[in-house]
Amino acid sequence: MNDASALGGATGISLEHAGFPHLTLFEWEAHHLLATVSGDGVIKTLITAGTEVQQRLAAQEFMSRELADLRQRATTPTLTKNKTDIVRLDISTYSGEGKSRLHLNRSFCEVDIAVEARQLSTELARTRYLLPKLAAKAKECAIGKLVAGASCFPTMASMKADLRLAFEPPQDESLLRSAFLSLKQGRISMLEYIQQARHLVSCVTTYPVDMATQVHDFVSGMTLATNVFI
């Protein structure tokens, strides 16, 4: 499907992915799908007036909702699997190098969405799907271990854990947790403040931030003008 024609059809304007280099292909496709869900006005405002941060966070939230919906549907037993229900998604590759690379948790989020959409039920299929989505040093590391021992990754979770040890910066989740706890609204809009808070919380997966702490720190970080209405 042509991204520009579909997104342009929903917004009434002609857009190309090349005009939004800060969005990955997967994030661009998320905006493309979001346009059909949210309507013309919302998506047009986001892609023409929203900041790069707002555009990326909107795509991430949409992907998270889609993943939650897919998981909920997967828990409902069905007698047969209809091949027409299988969705094939193109996702970004993770190289493990470069300052502009995707955050590892975000990369895994894309993989999880695609795995659920493709209805890959066996661990072998899941690990073999993740492998081609790696590039550069990350792919070299994984293939090197597979050559040494074909059974080194019995599950996709074990492959993810190995990649985290190799490429996730030390104390990465601790830094993200600290960033959330110190987040202040300042002069940014409430929408952007909410999106930044959600993004930081979603990246802390090993020891998630409990809801009471989320609420307390979110309210504490709001500007005084907003806080008086709480």
Q: What is the pLDDT of residues 195-207, one digit of tens each?
A: 888 878 877 777 7
Give me the pLDDT at residue 49, please: 66
Which token pair is 223?
């500007």
> CA distances (Å), 9 to each of 48, 55, 56, 91, 137, in order?
15, 19, 21, 23, 40
Amino acid identity of 52? E
Number of DSSP helices (H) and strands (E) in the chain, helices first:
12, 0
Q: What is the pLDDT of residues 110-149, one digit of tens each?
A: 788 888 888 888 888 888 888 877 878 888 888 887 877 7
pTM of the model: 0.44
Burial of 183 (0-12, 13-18, 19+ CB in 10 A): middle
Say whether pLDDT at 216 is over 80: yes
